[in-house]
Every structure is written in structure tokens, then in C-alpha cells.
Amino acid sequence: MAAEGHAPTASEYIVHHLQHWQVDWSLKPVVQTAIVDFNVINLDSVLYALLVGVIGCWVLWAAARKATSGVPGRFQAAVEILVEMVDNQAKANIHNAKSRKFIAPLALTVFVWIFLLNAMDMLPVDLLPAVWTQVYGALGHDPHHAYMRVVPTADLSTTLGLSSTVLLLCLIYSVKIKGVGGWAHELVSAPFGTSKNPIVAIILGIVNLLMQIIEYVAKTVSHGMRLFGNMYAGELVFMLIALMGGAMAASFSGVLLPVGHVIAGTVWAIFHILVITLQAFIFMMLTLIYLGQAHEAH
């Protein structure tokens, strides 16, 4: 964080909180300097994603285990409403009933998992990082280098990993539904069609293939970037609000900042509940739409 002997400035505070707990493949601690480094793992994103995923699975398992055929309780009713909502969206986008048996539960998992990952942003900004700082120092390391980010969806590697998985599923279903030949023909015949003239057909085939590649890449990147951008911005706003409370100690003129801190924090937290829910829903819907497109022939 800041050097010993003085409190961190606002910029040092934010930079510290935006740094991941990183290790290389040998689990040796590192600090990433390159924009993209495939030798580095954001260990905090991986661990929190796994932990939250286990919690989400446990919640759904508990709901299924306690389900009754009589009048449902509040918990069962809430889960049933969620399952019915996802199933209706799956039916609207995936018309192949056999594929829907896998895709509908997948969409439910995506929604619940991403909602819980986003909801990590509702925890106090300094809570888990402060705990980790104490643990890191107790293990004999420099506590000023105890980095920890708790919102996996504010990590671009997480969101692009999710969207890349959706892309892989789209390619699998494209081949499964249309066959290798049918999908290959689609790649060179859409969106501009074909021609009986051999030279024109080759030119159109190359252009169509390039357009298909651009479409796949654009959908994948925008799918992950949309979720990342919204959650990164939300995380940054919470940090700025946290700084308002800490500024009280900086000067006498800042005594009213804690009031603004409480008001702004409350308003943003309420609004952010909508954001984290909406972003989970949008990611789920785009997953269903892209998988639905993989089932359709041009």
C-alpha cells in the first residue's frame, strides 16, 4: 500500500485496491506489469469464483432437497419463480427440446453464479482486504503488499473466460446441429450468400468467412466487456465513496464528508442491487441468444 510512516493518499488507496493477489503457475507471488501475461494467475478471482460457485450450487441443491408438492415456503417459491423465468427464456430462444435439457440448467447456473459474483461488490470495500492484510502479515510477509480484490466479475480475465466458454459452446452446437459440412458451408455463405460464378463465389466465400470471424470475436469480446465494465465502474465508485469517509481525518473542513459518505453509499448500494441483477440477467440472456443462433441455419 503506502510506504511505512504515512497514510496512503487517495490515489495510492485506489491503486492498492485495484491490484490483484497474483501468482505465477508455480504459485510464486508476482506483480503483473504487462497488460496481458498468460503466466500470471489472479488467484483472488479464482478462489472467490470457486467459493461463490459452491455457495450457489449449495443454495439450489438445498431448495431442490426441501421442495414439497404442497404450498411452497418463501424460499422454495423464490427459487421456483427463478427457475420458471429461466426456463421460459430458454424455451423462447432454444427451440430444440433435446438441447434445452442442458442449456436451461446452464442458463440458471450462469444467472445465479454471476449474480453472486456481482453481489460481492456489496461487501464493505475494506473488509476482506483488511482481513487478508492481517493474515498476510502474520505469515511473515510485508502487509503493504497484501493485495486482494473480491469481485471476480470486475476482473477482465474472469468475464472474458466466461464469454469464451459461451463461444466454445456455440461452436460445439453449430457442429452438432448442422454437421461439420453444414457449418463450414454457413461460414462461407453468410451473410452475403454465394454465386454460380466460381471467381465471385471464392471472393464472397473469403469475405463471408472474414465477416463470420469478426462476428464471433465481436460477440465474445462485447459479451465479456459489458459485464466487466459495469462491475469495474461499480467497484471504483464504492472506493471513491469509502474515501469520503476517510477524508474526515484529513482536515477540519472534511467533518461533513462522513454524512455524504453515508448518504452516497446508501443510494449507490440500493442502485447497485439493480445493476448486479441486471448484468447477471443480460449475461444469461446473451448466452441463450448466442446458443439459439448456433441452432439456426442461415
For the chain, the domains span 10-295
Alpha carbon of residue 2 to chain centroid = 30
Identify the active-site residue in 42, 118, 208, 230: 230
Classify residue 4 by burial, with Cβ atoms within 10 Å: 0-12, 13-18, 19+: exposed
Main-chain dihedrals φ then ψ at residue 184, nearest 5 degrees: -60, -40
The question of whether 226 is a catalytic residue gets the answer yes
Going residue by residue through the chain, which has 298 residues, state the pLDDT in tens, using 9 for 90 and above: 444 556 678 888 999 999 999 988 877 888 765 555 678 899 999 999 999 999 999 999 999 898 888 888 899 999 999 999 999 999 999 999 999 999 999 999 999 999 999 999 999 999 999 999 999 999 988 898 899 999 999 999 999 999 999 999 999 999 999 999 999 999 999 899 998 999 999 999 999 999 999 999 999 999 999 999 999 999 999 998 888 766 655 555 556 677 777 888 899 999 999 999 999 999 999 999 999 999 987 5
The answer to whether 122 and 238 have CB atoms below 8 angstroms apart is no
Residue 27, number of CB atoms within 10 A of its CB = 8
Name residue 145's amino acid: H
> E strands of the chain, at which residues?
22-24, 29-30, 40-42
Identify the active-site residue in 45, 174, 226, 251: 226
The question of whether 230 is a catalytic residue gets the answer yes
> No. of H helices and E strands in the chain?
8, 3
Euclidean distance between CA atoms 78 and 263, whole angstroms = 30
SS3 134: helix
Q: How many angstroms separate the Cα of 225 from the Cα of each of 11, 153, 158, 163, 281?
A: 25, 10, 10, 9, 15
- Measure the CA angle with vertex 216, ends 214 and 222; round to 5°: 95
What is residue 2's predicted lDDT score, i.e. its pLDDT? Answer: 47
Is the omega angle on the peptide bond into residue 191 within 30 degrees of 0, that is, cis? yes
The question of whether 222 is a catalytic residue gets the answer yes
Identify the active-site residue in 39, 88, 197, 222: 222
